[in-house]
Amino acid sequence: MTDAPAELVHLDVAGAIATITLDSTHNRNALSRQLVTELVGHLTTVDADEDVRVVVLKSSGRVFCSGADLSEAATVPMQEGARAIVALQRQIVALSKPVVVVVEGAARAGGIGIVAASDVAIVAEDATFALTEVKLGLTPAVISLTVLPRMTSRGAALTALGGEVFTGAQAVDYGLVTLAVPAADLQAKVDEVAGQLATGAAQGLRETKQLLAADLLERIDAKGEELVELSARLFGSDAAREAMTAFLSRKKG
């Protein structure tokens, strides 16, 4: 009998605030099948909990999320992984309670999609973000469902075409996140904002979130499958394979 795999996502409920923590530091909180399954399960649990008003989503380490788990690419069809990321973004957008995401360190690829799907994003000023897909012969296909409606068109063009790292402070200017504060003040600001949100009546929070999320949900449902196919086509292309091989060899060198 084999031991069950260690839990990668933790749920803690204190009063009206539920905290979900990504804790898969060995792969920089990559969106493995296990992590996504556990995260989806915890989101479903808090959505059904009548006492919970607000959900805080954070990571145990400095890296919030590095995106898709490329180590599973050989065993999981590309479309399946991309659909899972679309479904996760949709669940966060459709959740009946506001989701506050917290980024202390780094967010990349699918991690940025989660940030964009949340209602409020509070990050450290020196947190880092990057849409590096362009350098690998790819495009931020499925995360564009939530990222593009959040960002200014100029901010999106600069970051998606350039592929360079930008900071939490810049992410505020680009519209990706809500607030950026000094890292030392991050937890206090999260507690303050979550506490303010938790004073809302359950019905008021639910109906207001539904009002705010309507256009984004419509976009996800209309374009999700098309972008899943685009993502899979690009990942399977010779150009992307060559670019990723070159990128990995540079990292090792």
pLDDT in tens, 181-223: 999 999 999 999 999 999 999 999 999 999 999 999 999 999 9
Phi/psi of residue 202, each to 5°? Answer: -55, -45
β strands within 104-250, DSSP E? 106-108, 120-124, 128-130, 166-167, 179-181
- Paired residues of 129 in beta bridges: 107, 166
Query: Is the CB of residue 30 less than 8 Å from the CB of residue 68?
Result: yes
> What CA–CA distance (Å, rounded) separates 117 from 92?
6
pTM for the predicted model, two decimal places: 0.94
Terminal-residue alpha carbon distance, the chain: 41
Residues 33-62: what's their mean pLDDT? 96
Q: To the nearest whole percent, how much of the chain has pLDDT over 70?
A: 96
Q: Give domain 9-183's CATH superfamily.
A: 2-enoyl-CoA Hydratase; Chain A, domain 1 (3.90.226.10)
> Edge-to-edge strand order for the sheet containing 166-167?
63-65, 106-108, 128-130, 166-167
